[in-house]
Chains A and B, each alone.
Chain A
């Protein structure tokens, strides 16, 4: 009888443990609908909230809507303007709306108060060559009331992979005054889709591509060069504040313009065994030139693949995160959170996942007056994790504080992590709860970059503050300009022994601050991993750690001879860790083809591994976004993924390794 009771009790405990699974992002931030009249196509290119709380929505099809009562159950849509050219930004100022069209900054006024614009004034028009990729973004309003606008590069005819600035100010940021004077402001932009004002300064986010190893947020000071060389073509013009010329650049950086024996241009491919050039090294190569590296890198495939709008969280909104930034991502249909600090006069900071699961590509963000966030979406031409083609949604906080890293700050000897809620001391004072690695991306003419120079850093001690809201880490081998990945899988909250909602932060360490270092006597150096018997974690984390734990490692070549393909559950962690899932799904086209479509090509496992390391985008002409080379995926992992992909082929029959049904 007693035995039976114990058994029952144990079962009940088990259930209780299940119920105590750590909360997830959707438990705090809800995605809500903004209903629109049927047939309203909201391929959102611009969002702005007017002083009266109405929402302005601009679309890629050239319409502008004013939405009244936008946070109510029945928003009212009024068409304010139409017929504009691929609007990719919308702002309100002094009774007028302003938008960037492909070829100009336009001011729109409703002079007769009938709800429709009747004056469309060209504030400033810039030249275009007529290439499809010459999109223009903005405006954002500077503290002095002037307008910032950015412009994409075009691509070559023969060198279709190479960004070109065919006419002045493509690949540039422009600053435009109300009366139509234009100051070229900075260059080096490739696809500067995300603009934002923070701290009175202009920041912008670019997209991965040639010369852009990964997305990132860059402080755009006057006269800076941020990396893409196309715009340097115009630095000789008298109005240019950028000092670097295209010739000077060419003399020191290999642009990989090569031709084969038939005179055809060769597309640059990733060189695996090389000492890569890194963006920050341009500071030494071009002394006297203002080279601006990202304040915050947004690792590709993790915090996005095509970063979009940058907004500051207003006071009173989103609880502990007010004053920080949010950045959207089109391809991954997600939003990440960014915090910055100023060290040695330069901005730097970190980024953490925030909310996934939007229905289309997240392009534009704007805070409503009630503190919720409007999310304007489109994926036409690019694809996204959310498979709707367009959308307008709203993200609302339910008032409960999630257990998160609120911010990470650089310290002279490591980092200080600030939490939103007190941590459980036992876990937080255990060095095994933390992992710190650093890496960076290449600066080269190739599309994208694998993460390079990756190192695991020693954690020497941790000091948890008395209130349990801060943990200061002593970390060795810090590298300036590198991305420092802080993984806090083991840290638990006091409440519920929960794991962090998002346990990984990516901090860009452009400068290491001066100041007081911790003494070893002040810190905990306990490391449960070095204890003779490693105890299994008390509370099961919901997250797949994906780390090689007790399972034996696959050796090279083993996968090809495997009798049975791995199951989805066996590769799921790998697909996430190596960022495959950022662009591919099992059975559905996303940014890239479905894995099952890859399987139909009947590549051998070895061929798939080769394609992971050196993708051939021309084999997939229906897909707009190139896949970057991913030589960082270890071969055993790649082979395992390949074997799983091939198990999805229709001819593989019923032995298919199990794919989650949509």
Chain B
């Protein structure tokens, strides 16, 4: 039986979600440290052809296919193929041979390039320059490539590929981030018979879920091996185009899971609120017996009961284990090897414990006494070489899951909502309130059928974020009372703290204004063009401003055209901010390796990159008109 990943199982059980009617809690596995593959040289890999190099920096040319400019150094694995160098030998195999694995890395595509990451050298997660793609197919970035069978008729030779759920790609020359959770195929004890197919448990591309629990019936096209095995190397494809990798990390899950054996249960009626109540003084259980699963449904009593499980936890691999216990509406106690691992207190308990190898006594209590909560019981285990898995039944949720409310942009689509900016807080926010991220209250999101969208702050004339992929999730706003907010569903490029786009500066060094005080800023709304695309209007410093934002051809980004009438003197525009803004040879700017800024028309004014509060910002004096683009 396949084991879906932890997050899918526990979304319902371990988070109470809508209790307050406000926040939608999404279970996001925390990033886990892993083993890194050093990129000081090629020694982590099998003999490589010369197209593979270790370099210090790499840049793509947006106008030249398959071309990288590299700098000497280490830390980046670059593939610079010569023309027509097709063939397996140009691919690169790790020395690492893996079974179940979490693999995480950064990569950069050259223009029009094509590559892939083959798990076990067999199952390809496609890497591709899908910058201008609206609806991904199996050849696109983040897709699972097709399998191939020459014996099939033409046109049907490729089969079983699995396209990415949406195009969450960045432009060539920008660093992208990939997280893959993979489960190897299983074989019979003598190794002759495959008992379970391999699975892509989860793929996140640039922070967006693009694959979720996909079964792989066999190797995909151009695999290094046609057979299937318990382990194999990671293969980076090198015979199709220029690609670069860095920050390659992995966690191998190659140890057997602990097992529960000789499990019995007993259900007691009554209200047991404290651990000291968990002795029953000879009280007879309502029900008892042997069982194979940990589940709350052992009790037919809806409330005020306690289930006690006893058994043996068979641990094959000694080491530190993490237990995560969900006991909604009560308390839980977990004892292993006669020591308390999780004690009652709260509905979720998490604890680490070091366990020896062997058969260890196991005891679990679930006491349920809060009348309005639904009974449920969940227990997950993670350990050395063991991926977090549910040892309890856990599936099915609580029956109170929310049907999501998605907004797509099949035509140009506007939606006003609150917009939260994770990781951004208002300067001067007290430390105890900084966990709450900034909420843009007068936000409008504009979606396009090109699948490139943006959010605009009507209160500041500021571009808040741009993204590629699916438009908005309005569940937080429209489920029940909602909290008034929606969320972008695609690959988001955020612009940091929204500030006034235009400010009067007495000198190019003067500080940028955080709020609108002193500017006389007044929003005037927007006007729609014949295709329902808005041009925003506002007044600031006595000037009337038209702010026209349009999606670039082929969805490569957005272009912004500012027209100012009755412009004040000393007016500056802050085009973008970031940790690092680098001018490029072609007159563009590279922002944090995640986006490009292109100045299309600054009326001859001179742009400046300046430091501000540990950030860099690109500003330009502006009089009547300004046109620039953000490509991402």
CB-based contact A621/B372 at 8 Å: yes
A619 in the interface, Cβ–Cβ < 8 Å?
yes
Q: How far is the CA of A79 from the CA of B144 in the complex (A)?
A: 41
A132 in the interface, Cβ–Cβ < 8 Å?
yes
A382 in the interface, Cβ–Cβ < 8 Å?
yes
Shortest beta-carbon distance from B506 to chain A in Å:
28
Could you say which of B110-118, B147-155, B313-321, B525-533 contacts chain A? Answer: B525-533
Q: Kindly supply a per-residue 1/0 record for chain A positions 376-419, scoring 1 wherever the CB is within 8 Å of any chain B CB and 0 otherwise.
A: 00001110000000000000000000000000000000000000
A283 in the interface, Cβ–Cβ < 8 Å?
no
Give the chain A neighbours of B183 by CB distance below 8 A.
Answer: none
Name the residue of chain B whose CB is nearest to the CB of A167. B441
Name the residue of chain B whose CB is nearest to the CB of A128. B441
CB within 8 A of A601: which of B371, B439, B459, B481? B371
Name the residue of chain B whose CB is nearest to the CB of A130. B439
CB-based contact A602/B523 at 8 Å: no
CB-based contact B441/A119 at 8 Å: no
CB within 8 A of A602: which of B303, B414, B415, B418? B303
Q: How many pairs of A and B residues are in contact by the CB < 8 Å rule? A: 98
Number of chain B residues whose Cβ lies closer than 8 Å to a Cβ of chain A: 38
Q: Kindly supply a per-residue 1/0 record for chain A positions 243-277, scoring 1 wherever the CB is within 8 Å of any chain B CB and 0 otherwise.
A: 00000000000000000000000000000000000
Shortest beta-carbon distance from B405 to chain A in Å:
9
CB-based contact A130/B484 at 8 Å: yes
Shortest beta-carbon distance from A260 to chain B in Å:
19
CB-based contact B526/A130 at 8 Å: no
CB-based contact A103/B442 at 8 Å: yes
Q: Kindly supply a per-residue 1/0 record for chain B positions 413-438, scoring 1 wherever the CB is within 8 Å of any chain A CB and 0 otherwise.
A: 11111100000000000000000000
CB-based contact B413/A381 at 8 Å: no
B322 in the interface, Cβ–Cβ < 8 Å?
no
Shortest beta-carbon distance from A517 to chain B in Å:
52
CB within 8 A of B441: which of A62, A83, A127, A601? A127
Residues A62 and B458 in contact in the complex (CB < 8 Å), given A119-B525, A382-B481, A624-B21 = no
A121 in the interface, Cβ–Cβ < 8 Å?
yes
CB-based contact A619/B484 at 8 Å: no
Q: How far is the CA of A130 from the CA of B457 in the complex (A)?
A: 13
- CB proximity to A under 8 Å, residues B502-549: 522-528, 534
B42 in the interface, Cβ–Cβ < 8 Å?
no
Name the residue of chain B whose CB is nearest to the CB of A127. B441
Give the chain B neighbours of A425 by CB distance below 8 A.
Answer: none
B30 in the interface, Cβ–Cβ < 8 Å?
no
CB-based contact A619/B372 at 8 Å: yes
CB-based contact A83/B416 at 8 Å: yes
Give the chain A neighbours of B528 by CB distance below 8 A.
Answer: 117-120
- CB proximity to B under 8 Å, residues A25-68: 60-62
CB-based contact B523/A104 at 8 Å: yes
Q: Kindly supply a per-residue 1/0 record for chain A positions 553-572, scoring 1 wherever the CB is within 8 Å of any chain B CB and 0 otherwise.
A: 00000000000000000000
B482 in the interface, Cβ–Cβ < 8 Å?
yes
CB-based contact B484/A120 at 8 Å: no
Q: How far is the CA of A600 from the CA of B374 in the complex (A)?
A: 12
CB within 8 A of A83: which of B302, B414, B523? B414
Name the residue of chain B whose CB is nearest to the CB of A180. B522
Give the chain A neighbours of B522 by CB distance below 8 A.
Answer: 122, 125, 180
Q: Interface SS of chain A: helix, strand, loop or mixed?
A: loop
Give the chain B neighbours of A348 by CB distance below 8 A.
Answer: none
Give the chain A neighbours of B444 by CB distance below 8 A.
Answer: 83
Shortest beta-carbon distance from B15 to chain A in Å:
14
A84 in the interface, Cβ–Cβ < 8 Å?
yes
A86 in the interface, Cβ–Cβ < 8 Å?
yes
CB-based contact A132/B371 at 8 Å: no
Give the chain B neighbours of A602 by CB distance below 8 A.
Answer: 303, 371
Residues A380 and B480 in contact in the complex (CB < 8 Å), given A103-B442, A125-B459, A624-B21 = yes
In this complex, the member of A60, A102, A125 whose beta carbon has the largest number of chain B beta carbons within 10 angstroms is A125
A91 in the interface, Cβ–Cβ < 8 Å?
no
Give the chain A neighbours of B483 by CB distance below 8 A.
Answer: 132
Number of chain A residues whose Cβ lies closer than 8 Å to a Cβ of chain B: 39
B22 in the interface, Cβ–Cβ < 8 Å?
yes
Q: How far is the CA of A620 from the CA of B20 in the complex (A)?
A: 10
Q: How far is the CA of A382 from the CA of B21 in the complex (A)?
A: 11
Q: Kindly supply a per-residue 1/0 record for chain B positions 158-202, scoring 1 wherever the CB is within 8 Å of any chain A CB and 0 otherwise.
A: 000000000000000000000000000000000000000000000
Shortest beta-carbon distance from A109 to chain B in Å:
10
Give the chain B neighbours of A86 by CB distance below 8 A.
Answer: 477, 484
Give the chain B neighbours of A119 by CB distance below 8 A.
Answer: 525, 527-528
- CB proximity to A under 8 Å, residues B454-492: 458-459, 477-478, 480-485
In this complex, the member of A60, A62, A85, A130 whose beta carbon has the largest number of chain B beta carbons within 10 angstroms is A130
Residues A125 and B458 in contact in the complex (CB < 8 Å), given A118-B527, A120-B527 = yes
Name the residue of chain B whose CB is nearest to the CB of A118. B528
B84 in the interface, Cβ–Cβ < 8 Å?
no
A129 in the interface, Cβ–Cβ < 8 Å?
yes
CB-based contact B480/A122 at 8 Å: no
Name the residue of chain A whose CB is nearest to the CB of B482. A132
- CB proximity to A under 8 Å, residues B359-400: 371-372, 400
A293 in the interface, Cβ–Cβ < 8 Å?
no
CB-based contact A102/B371 at 8 Å: no
B1 in the interface, Cβ–Cβ < 8 Å?
no
CB-based contact A62/B481 at 8 Å: no
B19 in the interface, Cβ–Cβ < 8 Å?
yes
A101 in the interface, Cβ–Cβ < 8 Å?
yes
Name the residue of chain B whose CB is nearest to the CB of A129. B441
CB-based contact A85/B416 at 8 Å: yes
- CB proximity to A under 8 Å, residues B14-39: 18-22
CB within 8 A of B22: which of A84, A127, A132, A134? A132
Name the residue of chain B whose CB is nearest to the CB of A382. B481
A10 in the interface, Cβ–Cβ < 8 Å?
no
Instruction: Taking A121-B524, A619-B371, A624-B21 as given, write out 17 further A-B residue pairs in contact, using a Cβ cutoff of 8 Å, ordered by the A residue number.
Output: A82-B413, A83-B416, A83-B444, A101-B416, A104-B442, A107-B525, A117-B528, A119-B528, A120-B525, A122-B458, A127-B441, A130-B484, A132-B482, A132-B483, A602-B303, A620-B372, A624-B481
| Interface CB pairs A-B, < 8 A, 21 | A82-B414, A83-B414, A85-B416, A101-B416, A103-B458, A103-B459, A106-B525, A117-B528, A118-B528, A119-B525, A120-B528, A122-B458, A125-B442, A125-B459, A130-B441, A130-B484, A132-B22, A132-B484, A621-B19, A622-B400, A624-B21
Residues in chain A within 8 A of chain B (CB atoms): 60-62, 82-86, 101-104, 106-107, 117-122, 125, 127-130, 132, 134, 180, 380-382, 600-602, 619-622, 624
Residues in chain B within 8 A of chain A (CB atoms): 18-22, 302-303, 371-372, 400, 413-418, 439, 441-442, 444, 458-459, 477-478, 480-485, 522-528, 534
